[in-house]
């Protein structure tokens, strides 16, 4: 049996997708992000943005542009998603129809912003599936932005939906939704990692994701010029809050996010050694460097290798088959 069948005992293994999600709204920025992805490889996802990217009166044309770019040969890796307008918008259904029917076969995921409830997500998925099936696509992955009080209250139920792959924290809408009760300093570091209402939201999102094998994606860093701040935020988001993915809003943010959220080479080497020994032992308990390991730790190290693979790190040839 494949290691995933042994280690997860018939359960669905946790989702594993690139650690960086780069947003691009205008045609110029979308095309630039395509070129950069072709250069770096599929170590980061691109999300084409209809919600904030479309100019007033140009919504349908913008959705068509997004669909055409995703369906084009420039999408070499199939790692481009799209954020549509919120479900309450008059443009939501048209976004879904245009993008899913024209580019569903190449679409990596669809992002739902500003949801307020579990029922809203469920209804949106029904509509998405209706249009995606017309392009031959079944079970299109759905990413949900958690940025309202209602979405946070339903976060565990939303994460449990089989088609949901990732939950992202929309910190700016979340803070502004408190109408001044949370200071603006909590939208950025160090306040975002200290204010109790913000840290509570982050912990609940990450916990819900990990309980259901989904990917928690951390909010954007608004600082563009100071790249060290991007790396600082990514490192804290991962080490202290359990986020395994993060937004980028500028090309210069991509590399520090990928580096900060990818396993270290020493972790990859250790994981490869332990899993190789485990496979030889038919996944029974082993000792490695004087420490006991069994299937509980094997699952951890298997996910280390999954993250390394998604980040484009070089893996020892003998463990590639384990993934």
Angle (deg, nearest 10), helices 118-132 and 92-103: 40
Q: Kindly provide the b/e burial profile for residues 260-298, where b requires at least 16 CB atoms within 10 angstroms of the residue's own CB.
A: bbbbeeebbebbbebbbebbeeebeebeeeeeebeeebb
pLDDT tens profile 109-158: 999 999 999 999 999 999 999 999 999 999 999 999 999 999 999 999 99
What six digits make up the tokens of 18? Answer: 């690139």
Number of other residues whose CB lies within 10 A of the CB of residue 13:
16
pLDDT band at 92; cut points 50, 70, 90: very high
Q: Kindly provide the b/e burial profile for residues 208-228, where b requires at least 16 CB atoms within 10 angstroms of the residue's own CB.
A: bbeebbbbbbbbbbebeeebe
pLDDT tens profile 180-194: 999 999 999 999 999
Q: What is the dihedral angle through the alpha carbons of 174, 231, 267, 20, rounded to the nearest 10 degrees?
A: 60
Q: What is the dihedral angle through the alpha carbons of 48, 54, 60, 64, rounded to the nearest 10 degrees?
A: -30
What six digits make up the tokens of 167? Answer: 């939950």
**Would you kindly state where each structural domain of the chain is located, as residue ranges?**
3-261, 265-322
Q: How many Cα atoms occupy the beta-carbon half-sphere of 130 within 13 Å?
A: 10
DSSP 80: E
| Residue 44 Cα distances to 126, 137, 287, angstroms | 28, 22, 36
Q: Is the dihedral of CA 16, 175, 124, 44 positive or negative?
A: negative
- Contact between residue 255 and residue 22 where contact means Cβ atoms under 8 Å apart: no
Q: Kindly provide the b/e burial profile for residues 134-165, where b requires at least 16 CB atoms within 10 angstroms of the residue's own CB.
A: ebebeebbbbbbbbbebbbebbebbbebebbb
Measured between alpha carbons, how far is 165 from 31 in angstroms, rounded to an integer? 26
Question: What average pLDDT does this structure show over 21-41?
Answer: 97
Question: What average pLDDT does this structure show over 212-216?
Answer: 97
Closest listed residue to residue 234, CA positions, set 217, 250, 249: 217
- Tell me if residue 165 falls in helix, strand or coil: strand
Q: Kindly provide the b/e burial profile for residues 69-95, where b requires at least 16 CB atoms within 10 angstroms of the residue's own CB.
A: bbbeeebeeebbbbbbbbbebebbbbb
pLDDT tens profile 280-323: 999 999 999 999 999 999 999 999 999 999 898 988 888 887 77
Closest listed residue to residue 301, CA positions, set 18, 2, 3: 3
| pLDDT, position 257 | 97
At the fourth CATH level, the homologous superfamily of domain 3-261 is Phosphoenolpyruvate-binding domains (3.20.20.60)
| pLDDT, position 148 | 98
């Amino acid at each position: 049996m494949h290691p995933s069948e042994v280690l997860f005992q018939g359960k669905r293994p946790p989702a594993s997708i690139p650690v960086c999600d780069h947003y691009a709204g205008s045609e110029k920025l979308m095309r630039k992000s395509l070129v950069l992805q072709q250069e770096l490889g599929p170590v980061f996802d691109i999300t084409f943005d209809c919600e904030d990217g479309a100019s007033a009166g140009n919504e349908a044309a913008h959705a068509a542009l997004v669909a055409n770019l995703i369906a084009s040969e420039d999408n070499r890796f199939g790692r481009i998603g799209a954020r549509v307008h919120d479900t309450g918008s008059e443009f939501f259904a048209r976004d879904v129809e245009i993008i899913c029917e024209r580019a569903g076969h190449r679409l990596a995921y669809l992002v739902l912003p500003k949801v307020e409830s579990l029922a809203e997500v469920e209804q949106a998925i029904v509509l998405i599936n209706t249009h995606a099936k017309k392009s031959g696509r079944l079970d299109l992955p759905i990413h949900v932005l958690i940025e309202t009080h209602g979405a946070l209250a339903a976060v565990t139920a939303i994460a449990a939906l089989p088609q949901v792959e990732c939950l992202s924290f929309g910190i700016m809408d979340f803070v502004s939704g408190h109408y001044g009760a949370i200071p603006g300093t909590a939208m950025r570091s160090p306040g975002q990692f200290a204010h109790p209402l913000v840290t509570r939201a982050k912990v609940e999102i990450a916990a819900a994701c990990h309980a259901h094998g989904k990917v928690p994606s951390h909010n954007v860093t608004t600082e563009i010029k100071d790249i060290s701040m991007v790396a600082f935020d990514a490192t804290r988001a991962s080490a202290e809050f359990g986020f395994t993915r993060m937004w980028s809003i500028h090309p210069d943010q991509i590399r520090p996010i990928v580096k900060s959220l990818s396993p270290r080479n020493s972790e990859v080497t250790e994981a490869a050694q332990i899993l190789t020994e485990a496979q030889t032992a038919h996944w029974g308990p082993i000792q490695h460097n004087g420490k006991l390991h069994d299937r509980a730790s094997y699952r951890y190290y298997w996910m280390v290798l999954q993250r390394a693979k998604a980040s484009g790190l070089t893996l020892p040839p003998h463990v590639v088959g384990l993934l």
